[in-house]
Amino acid sequence: MSNGQNGAELRLVTPGMAIGPLAGKRVGSGTIAQNDTIIATRLGWTKEFNNTVSVDPINSAYMPRSGDLIVAVVAEVRNNLWFMNVNGPFQGLLPMSLAPWKVEFGAARQHMGIGDVVLARVQEVDECHNVVLTMKGVGLRRLTQGTTVSVPINHIERLRGEGNATVQRLRDAADSRIIIGENGRVWIDGNAEGTAWARQAIALAEASGHKTTFEAELSALEQNAPKKGDA
């Protein structure tokens, strides 16, 4: 969070709290301008970057954006499309034309049923929050093994780390495949010990991801990581 921070005091703000005078600054996400004062609209940490003041929320719902890589769960199946739970306020729609298979009309159920988990990408989001997903693309597929865990979406960046360094550490320590969906769902595929350790590490990120102690706690947890080939 401190990346790009330039001078603004980093502090926890609650909705309605004055962050500071507008004074030529731009209001970013999580803030509004009122009577020449920047007001926080969310509970979170203030951030100033490129003369824009914003609030990094501690909690927030996932709002899909075009291009997001997400782990979605099939919620409903129709003849020619699937409705997917994307861990957000609205279901996403996956039409058969954007599925990775050639699907006959009426045969959608033969490919994916309710509860199936997929790796998909957000193709399009309109102003009414209609979300269209696609599974056409490299690596996009139905996830037939492994497990998924949820993390608050504002902890995803922390879980990824600088240039995916943290998630790579988790992958190496757990000897598992780990994919972090932008929607706060993490897919883990590995042996039992590795998966259990990765779950622990993710739970740590969830509980302490916003704290300064996170890095030290994660390093301590790495000492207990299962040795490769233990399974």
Partner 1 sequence: MGGYGDVRLLREDGLRLDGRKLDEMRPMTIEAGVLPAADGSAMVTHGLNVAVAAVYGPMEAHPRKIQRQDRAVIDVRYNMAPFSTSDRIRPGFNRRSREISKVTAEALESVVLCERYPRSKIRVEIEILAAEAGTRCAGLTAAAVALADAGIPMRDLIVGVASGKVEGIVVLDLDKAEDNYGQADLPVGILPNTGEIAFLQMDGDLSPDEYNLAMEYNFKAAAEIHEIMVDALKRRYEGGEN
Binding mask 150-189 for partner 1 (x = CB under 8 A): ----x-----------------------------------
Which residues are registered as beta bridge partners of 81? Answer: 95
Report d(CA 59, CA 117) in Å as an integer. Answer: 24
Q: In this chain, which stretch among 37-45, 93-101, 140-148, 178-186 interacts with partner 1, using CB under 8 A?
A: 37-45
Per the structure block, which two tokens stand in for 27? 């209001």
Residues 63-122 that bind partner 1 (CB under 8 A): 89-91
Interior/surface letters 191-227, b for 16+ CB within 10 angstroms, e for the rest = bebbbebbeebbebbbebbbeeebeebbeebeeebbe
The least CB distance from residue 2 to partner 1, in Å, is 6
Is beta strand 147-150 parallel, antiparallel or unpaired with respect to 177-180? unpaired
Q: Return the number of the residue (179 or 205) whose C-beta is nearest partner 1.
A: 205
Considering the complex, what minimum distance in angstroms separates the CB of residue 10 from partner 1? 7
Q: Confirm if 53 and 27 have CB atoms less than 8 A apart.
A: yes
Nearest to partner 1 of 209, 226 (CB atom): 209
The encoded tokens of residue 126 equal 């309109």
Contact status: 210 vs partner 1 (CB under 8 A) = yes
Site for partner 1 (CB under 8 A): which residue of 211, 219, 220, 228?
211
For partner 1, which is the closer residue by CB, 56 or 175? 56
Among residues 137, 69, 80, 160, which one has the least CA distance to residue 112?
A: 80
Q: Which of 21, 51, 52, 59 binds partner 1 (CB under 8 A)?
A: 59
In terms of phi and psi (left: phi > 0; alpha: psi -120 to 50; beta: otherwise), the region of 140 is: beta
Give the interface with partner 1 as residue ranges (CB under 8 A).
1-2, 10, 12, 14-18, 30, 32, 34, 39, 41-45, 57-61, 89-91, 127-129, 154, 210-213
